[in-house]
Amino acid sequence: MPNKKRKDGRLQSSVTITNPLTGEKKKIYAYGYTESELSREVSKIKRNGGRVSIGDILFKDWVDEWLIIKKSELAASTFDNYDLRIKKHIMPYIANIKLKNVMPTTIRNIISKVDGDRSKKYIYMLLHSILQQAYIDEIIDRNPCMAVKCPKYKAKEKQIITTEEFQLLLDNSFCAQYKRIFILAYYTGMRRAEICALRWGNIDFSAKTINVTSAIKITDEGNILGRPKSDSGIRKILMSTMLKNILNQQFLNQKERFLKNGTKVTDSDFVFTSEINYKTMITPNGLTHIFRRAKKAAGIKTAITFHSFRHTHTTMLVESGIPIKAIQIRLGHSTPTFTLTQYAHNTEKMQQKIVDFLNKQPKII
């Protein structure tokens, strides 16, 4: 293959080696700062069957290859999250260590520097996956994570927003636009990143539909308009008449704001915009701040978050007996199982429905 120049200035090439015992072919990468240095490395690989150069591969170089493998397997948002976590929590400590020299103590040292049990477990699982692929590819003889216990983390039970809490949030939402955002989230279950990316061209008032086609991605470079979390996230959400009227009122208010600034609202303009700059979208983190502010003003002490709107919407639909397949599609999940296990929460109303059903069964005594 043609020599490739990497970001660190080195040249990269590869050699395909055939295992004489199994006939299996595998690609070995060689690196060098000059053509002659790279040529020597390639020759060394061919001469030694790949054993010497495999041992010299740095952790950061292998991670680059691992990310290439994962990019085709993961949703864009998940891949970006992997990349961000690796750069922040892993690379500062072992980027330039040879892959073969990564020991269980190295893993424990990295984990000890991560805050929070959930994050510790996440970083451990990332390291395990990175090193396991290296083991599968016969680059290392063992996965050092196997000798390290996976950090324990018990996820907290997600809370749904009660009717009383929802009314308190609306009463303390500071402005009409924020109130409408809360109503939209409550009655559609849309993700905050999808709400922020919503444009007027995505709303069909005559058909009463919201076309979810975009989401805001939080990256190192800032907030970027991209695709939803997965292909299932691209969907149409039917609106109730009440929600249609709420969004129509938002349009009229935006139309007035734009006219005051000498412009007109277009299909490409965002539905919800900054209170300071009428053309600037609200960011996902901005929505979180707006929610926390309203929650504090309302005196709500429970652990609800903006994402709780999504859990609440799902639970309401399940309580009402809506088919789970319809709920899955409305939320943009890939499977109904995920919708049920992660977003539908047990309530007294659900339990009462079970009892009511049983009470209607024929008596056997």
Query: Lowest-confidence range among 32-46, 80-94, 100-114, 301-315?
Result: 32-46
Would 360 be classed as within a structural domain? no
Whether residue 239 has pLDDT greater than 90: yes
* pLDDT at site 23: 56
pLDDT: is 82 or 181 the higher one?
181
Mean pLDDT of 350-359: 65
How far is residue 235 from each of residues 139, 194, 280, 298, measured CA to CA in Å? 43, 11, 25, 33
Q: What is the pLDDT of residue 39?
A: 80
Summarize the confidence of residues 191-195 as an average pLDDT: 94
Residues 325 and 178 in one domain: yes
Q: What is the pLDDT of residue 217?
A: 83
Closest-CA residue to 223 (of 294, 287, 137): 287
CATH number at residue 212: 1.10.443.10
Of 39, 56, 73, the residue at which a domain comes to its end is 56
Q: Which domain holds residue 27?
A: 1-56
Of residues 75 and 102, more confidently modeled: 102
> pLDDT digits over 242-284, tens only?
999 999 999 999 999 999 999 999 999 999 999 888 899 999 9
Give the total residue count for the chain: 365
* Any domain includes 358: no
- Judged by average pLDDT, the poorest of 125-134, 258-267, 349-358 is 349-358
CA 109 to chain centre: 26
- Is the predicted pLDDT of residue 47 greater than 70, yes or no? no
Verify that 48 and 62 share a domain, yes or no.
Answer: no
Residue 228 maps to a domain:
yes
**Among 2-6, 20-24, 73-77, where is mean pLDDT lowest?**
20-24
Contact 228, 213 (CB under 8 A): yes
Phi and psi torsions of 317, nearest 5°:
-70, -40
State yes or no: pLDDT of 54 exceeds 80.
Answer: no
Q: Please give the angle made by the CA atoms of 256, 262 and 264, to the nearest 5 degrees.
A: 60
Same domain, 115 and 234: no
The whole-angstrom separation of Cα 196 and Cα 241 is 22
Confidence of residue 365 (pLDDT cuts 50, 70, 90): low
Q: Identify the pLDDT of residue 209.
A: 95
Domain count, the chain: 3
Same domain, yes or no: 183 and 254: yes
> With a threshold of 0.85, does the pTM exceed it?
no
Q: How many angstroms separate the CA atoms of 206 and 294, rounded?
A: 32
Residue 88 sits in a domain of what CATH number? Answer: 1.10.150.130
Measure CA 230 to chain center. Answer: 9
User: End-to-end CA distance of the chain, in Å?
Assistant: 80
Mean pLDDT of 122-150: 91
Domain final residue, candidates 155, 184, 205: 155
Q: Which of 50-54, 178-182, 289-293 has the lowest mean pLDDT?
A: 50-54
Mean pLDDT over each residue of the chain, to the nearest integer: 86
Question: 136 pLDDT band (50/70/90 cuts)?
Answer: confident
- Residue 236's pLDDT is 95
Transcribe 119-185 into DSSP letters.
HHHHHHHHHHHHHHHHHHTTSSSS-GGGGSPPPP--PPPP-PPPHHHHHHHHHT-SSHHHHHHHHHH
CB 55 within 8 A of CB 100: yes
Asked whether the predicted pLDDT for residue 107 surpasses 70, the reply is yes
Residues 172, 141: one domain?
no
